Chain A
Amino acid sequence: MERAAQQAVPLGQMEVFQALQRLHMTIFSQSVSPCGKFLAAGNNYGQIAIFSLSAALSSEAKEESKKPMVTFQAHDGPVYSMVSTDRHLLSAGDGEVKAWLWAEILKKGCKELWRRQPPYRTSLEVPEINALLLVPKENLLILAGGDCQLHAMDLETGTFMWALRGHTDYIHCLALRERSPEVLSGGEDGAVRLWDLRTAKEVQTIEVYKHEECSRPHNGRWIGCLATDSDWMVCGGGPALTLWHLRSSTPTTVFPMRAPQKHVTFYQDLILSAGQGHCVNQWQLSGELKAQVPGSSPGLLSLSLNQQPAAPECKVLTAAGNSCRVDVFTNLGYRAFSLSF
């Protein structure tokens, strides 16, 4: 196998460059289309690739169907975050958020619908946008990233309504509490902050690194991932992955995982997390490791659960990170195949 690979060497300048580009590709973000049949993935070269999940999952899937059906240059810098509304794909990375019409993307006519830049105060370097969050009830899009603020944009008018300041370093992640309209944000400064959307005020601050149970000074303070479910919150990063009870602001479970986690999400009665290392980890709420499912990338940055009711046949978990491949898990037990840039 290895021998065969070496024999197939006749590479010209272009081929070598492309091979190197693929080799050093990182997929930062994923988003499932509103119909549930397509998956958008954004990489560090600012490209967005659209994969057809339904084609790749169908019984007559070929190698061809695991390649992107369309790839386009969306941003100049990496695409750190993407979300989908019921009509649009919103992507953000290098300080701008851009909107693309799903309907047009699928027709392979990829022209941006609009682009917006939040009002930044600094001018030397354009801050990046690390996280996008949709608040469907208020038709709001919340952006957070390099300038340590949460910007709220009205999707109706496209105007930035307010900014929430409080973080002392850049923001990694956002999470929404559905019932009481509150937003959680976690950042490089090691704090998880709760914001009330109605008053646009900070409600609560949890400085995770100050709790001995979960602090890991050699890894740093930064909070890389965040997820909530009613009164519960799970966060990880430099500190260990920890389950918190929000009302009492106490860590209830510390998950025994050495590597920093980059993405965490609740799924039914499980917590799925991924980060450094090629496995998707499944945790019981009690802190037991239920399973570790290996993927194909050396490190994972994002997980995406396709739970669109419109496409029950495409109900899969996809994971992407430090490679040009998006791993597809048809059930939580094992990796079925990989989509590849």
Chain B
Amino acid sequence: MNMMEEAASQLERDHVHSVYDKIAPYFNDSRYKAWPKVQQFLLDLQPGSIVADIGCGNGKYLHINKEVFKMGCDVCRPLVDFAWSQGHEVQMCDGLHLPYRDGCFDAVLSIAVIHHLSTKERRIRAIKEMARTLRVGGRIMIYVWAMEQKRRKFEKQDIFVPWNPNPQSPTHREPAKPRKRATAQSVSEAIGNADKHRKVRSTSSVADEEELTTPHCTTPQQSTQRLWFFSRSLDSVFDFGSLSISRSSSRDLSTLSSPAGENERNKSSHWGRGRGLIKQVSSFFSPTSVIGSEEDVFDSVTNLHKGQNAPGGNNNGPENQSVSVSLAQECGSLALPDLVPFQKEHLKQSSDESEGGLQGKEQHESTKSSQGSERQVEGSCLRYYHVFREGELAELIENHVDELLVKHTYFDHANWCVVAEKVQICKI
């Protein structure tokens, strides 16, 4: 596995897989949303179709349309276990390596999944894998978070989103139900029950989380749901020719161990572990909340780099890489300072332009928040997302996945959506 693959893999392990493992128990309370268009897609299938939900989570779509045979898969064991307990056929596997034979499915779902893949190449591979398992004429429906949201636009495409359980009911779990398989009645009963009890909070959309909050709310937990952290995409991190750092306010580095003392020997182990490859994080604030000085924590990365960075051009030898990576690892493993809600509006951004040079257009307003307050947001509960621009998903398919033909694209509840059909490729 090359370095980028390794880093991508590690990032997803830390900020997708392990987070879902932790938060899986919370998926089965509170409101559930089956996106109606996904539901319709399933209901429109020919009876006797075989459908796969790739990245099925707790299986919330697997009960729809009993005329078709559905199976689901996911990397998250607790979620898959839950789906099984509801009577569904599910497997553990990862989207880049699907254990299904070619052309065996009539339809495939990928609902809020591939936005968790941290490089463009991996996202393409995932789509191609799903296309491989589709029969010619079969259709795939893909949903990904949109950069353009109802009330705001994400500033960057690669973000980390903190998880906060519903403050009202963290343990509102339904008592474990007996498995809904096994009897003739239970097939339809299971479906009926599933509809009734399916109060899973859909975390597949920012819109859901938005709906939980009200403007000018002051509850810390609600407001923290509106916070996102931005990162450079791994694609740009590994674009050695364009590494550049933004200028931000400096911050004391006492909380970070200095990489200066680290020697070359550690470099490969750092790459190997690749933990927390967050090159730079900046934050975006909703009107009702603000992040304290988390940004500054990560600014240290940039400050240390300043002296070594030649403006523009290819300026990074392996040494720089190891410095920044090891710093980033330190950042990644730090518990982030608490997110303190504010009433007034704060906006903080630092951007890094990949066109070289040290550009920043941040306005850093000092805040009252500080590190080391009691309520710590665990860095480990940040989920990584690559949010998609309008047209990006369709373009990805059109330019890189010949075997799929885009049939529909639309915006649905804060997601960009594509329906595509598997076509025969004639190789001459």
Does chain A bind chain B? no
Using a CB–CB cutoff of 8 Å, the interface residues on chain A facing chain B are none
